Amino acid sequence: MHSLNQEIKAFSRNNLRKQCTRVTTLTGKKIIETWKDARVHVEEVEPSSVGGCGYVQDLSLDLQVGVVRPWLLLGSQDAAYDLDTLKKHKVTHILNVAYGVENAFLGDFTYKSISILDLPETSLLSYFPECFQFIEQAKMKDGVVLVHCNAGVSRAAAVIIGFLMDSEEMSFASAFSLVKNARPSICPNAGFMEQLRTYEEVKENNKHDKIEERGDYES
């Protein structure tokens, strides 16, 4: 019988399509995150001198906060940087899983920062224990926790989906649907989606193994 940790460690990245992620920080700096030779490479992009970008940039703030549970919220870095929004939703704890985003109000909230790259090759499941522990601690203290990344679309959404699958034993489909209803813009990258489905399979296998062990013990 393989443990959940063994299954996570054995998860292969080789069949995932290589991809880069472009991130714009709050200061306007543009960086590209890529995975190469088992290492993360971060490259700063030089501003383009060519006039016109060919599309209309949306510079409006994304302050929409998805209420997954009354004590569990999902949002973007914009929401995490807007004190009025945080107070409106009575946030007490903030889980920051973005890359290159500093925590804004250290004296007002309890923070946990875990830098996760939004790449299909990123081992998302390896971050679950630390993320889940922080969320559970906030819940036990009757707090309200906001989970955010840069856009509140991929990383933070995937973490919350995984948390629901773990803490409430929800299926991947049910957890995804619940989070999607709370924040319709979510779209975890293909690698994260595959890992979440693998996580569901591992949990189901472990559940069946425990049932069989209980039966053997009772007999």
Domain that holds residue 92: 62-218
Residue 166 lies in a domain: yes
DSSP string of 43-85, one letter each residue: EEPPPP-SS--SS----S-----EEEETTEEEE-HHHHT-HHH
CB atoms within 10 A of CB 41: 11
Please give the Cα distance from 142 to 177 (Å, whole number): 25
pLDDT in tens, 138-150: 999 999 999 999 9
Categorize the per-residue pLDDT at 52 as very low, low, confident or very high, splitting at 50, 70 and 90.
very low
* 37 assigned to some structural domain: no
207 pLDDT band, cuts 50/70/90, is: confident
User: 3-class DSSP state for residue 144?
Assistant: coil
Question: In the chain, how many domains are there?
Answer: 1
DSSP-assigned states of every residue in 94-136: EEE--SS---S-TTTSEEEE------TTS-GGGGHHHHHHHHH
Asked if the structure places residue 56 within a domain, the reply is no
Is 149 an annotated catalytic residue?
yes
Answer yes or no: are the C-beta atoms of 188 and 218 closer than 8 Å: no
Give the pLDDT band (50/70/90) at residue 213.
low
CATH number, domain of 168, equals: 3.90.190.10
Q: Is 129 part of a structural domain of the chain?
A: yes
Q: Is residue 90 part of a domain?
A: yes
Q: From the candidates 20, 53, 131, 149, give the one annotated as an active-site residue.
A: 149
Q: Is residue 27 part of a domain?
A: no
> 9 or 123: whose pLDDT is higher?
123
Structural domain includes residue 49: no
pLDDT on residue 26: 46
Maximum Cα–Cα distance for the chain, whole Å?
77
Does some domain include residue 157?
yes
Q: Decide if pLDDT at 108 tops 80.
A: yes
- The pTM (predicted TM-score) of the whole model is 0.73
Report helix, strand or coil for 160. Answer: helix
Q: Which pLDDT tens digit goes with each residue over 137-187?
A: 999 999 999 999 999 999 999 999 999 999 999 999 999 999 999 999 999
